[in-house]
Each structure stands twice: as structure tokens, then as C-alpha cells.
Amino acid sequence: MPITRNHVDSTRFNTQATLPFELRLKDFEMAMQDVYDFFYDINRGLVDRGLLRLDDMLRPAIMSGLLSDMLTASLAKHSRTLTPNLYHNGHPDLIVNGIYPDNRVKAGTEGVEVKTTRKSGGAVDTHGARTQWMCVFVYETDGVTQPARDRKPMTFTEIYLGKVDLKDFRKNPRSELGTRTATLHRQGIEKLRKNWVYKLRE
């Protein structure tokens, strides 16, 4: 079975979703398709050379980081008002173009933080509790089908976009060597899920 190109199901978007900063559902559709096309091109070349698919090579944390960076760049490309935050590890990932000097800010409020996770429902760790627009893409990969070249392509299954604030988070215990993180608590995640953007399945 050859590597297959994934396609976004445009019928699965929520036309009632509240989208800030003049974002459009089409921006999300095009950003996801950009990622699908990239994985198709890369995986086809890898498999033709007898190598593993990119999905199978990357550890989950690296995969999530790669997807977050790609989606941030693609959303910025298609968005009318948003651009990548050029401050290294600045927050949020996407900021309103022209609001901050040189489009760089260590900790801004005008923009969208982009996260990816394999956890259905959109629960994801962050580096700190903040008042922010948070966008979470949920994805799945096929790591079990054999032979590996017959595996289904990486697929985005859910997108959530919500305005959350400090009281919506709980702080996570930090190990001796760990980094302090925060996660939306039950009411916070419910708040995020109310403004769902995309659900591939009910």
C-alpha cells in the first residue's frame, strides 16, 4: 500500500465557533492541509528509500513540537492579522501584526498560543498559567498497523480555541529536575471545549 495523502474534512468545522483576531475557519483548514501535504511529501521520499516514516521516527514530544511550529507558521501565512512571535520562546506563538515592536514580545496578550496533543479533549500542559487565547490541535498517529508502510497518515481529530484566564488552571507538582507546568482544570477544559473549531468524529 503506497503512502497516502491525508485531506481535511471541511464538513467537520463548527460554523458557530467564536474566532478572534479575524481568524477564519478556512485558515485552520489550509494550515492543517499544509501539514498533511508536508508529511505526504516527506514520508513518500523516506519510504521509497526503505526508511521509516517521519511519524515513526519522532518521539511524541518532538512530534508535538514540530506540529506546533508548523501550524503556527501556516496559520500566520493564511491569517489576515496574525504573525509569528519572533521573540525566542515568547508568548503567545502568534501575535497581532504590528502591535509589538518588531513583532517580538516575551509575554504578550494580543495573540494566540498554539498547542498540540494526542490527548482527546485537548488537555495539554503549559509552562505557566496565563490569561490567553489558547488553540489546541489534537492529533493521532498509527503506530500499530503492520507492515509499517501500510499505516494511516497522521490525522488531526479535534481543534479547540478558547479564551482562558489564570483561575482556569491548576499548577502541576514539579519533580526535582522537572519544569513547573500548569494545566487547565476540569472547569477550564470545559470552557475551552465549548468553543470547538473542528471535530473529525462525534
DSSP 37-102: HHHHHHHHHHHHTTPPPHHHHS-HHHHHHHHHHHHHHHHHHH-SSEEE--STT-BSSEEETTTSGG
When pLDDT is averaged across residues 62-69 and rounded to a whole number, the result is: 95
pLDDT, tens digit (0-9, with 9 covering 90-100), for 29-39: 999 999 999 99
Q: Looking at per-residue confidence, does 32 or 121 come out higher?
A: 32
Q: What is the pLDDT of residue 118?
A: 93
What residue segments make up the domains of the chain, in order of their start? 20-199
Q: What percent of the chain has pLDDT over 70?
A: 93
Q: What is the pLDDT of residue 149?
A: 74
CA 158 to CA 28: how far, in whole Å?
11
Q: Note if the pTM is more than 0.85.
A: yes
pLDDT, tens digit (0-9, with 9 covering 90-100), for 142-190: 988 888 778 899 999 999 999 887 677 777 666 555 556 777 777 778 8
Q: What is the pLDDT of residue 132?
A: 85
When pLDDT is averaged across residues 124-139 and rounded to a whole number, the result is: 83
Domain 20-199 bears CATH identifier 3.40.600: yes
Q: What is the pLDDT of residue 179?
A: 59
Q: Looking at per-residue confidence, does 125 or 24 come out higher?
A: 24
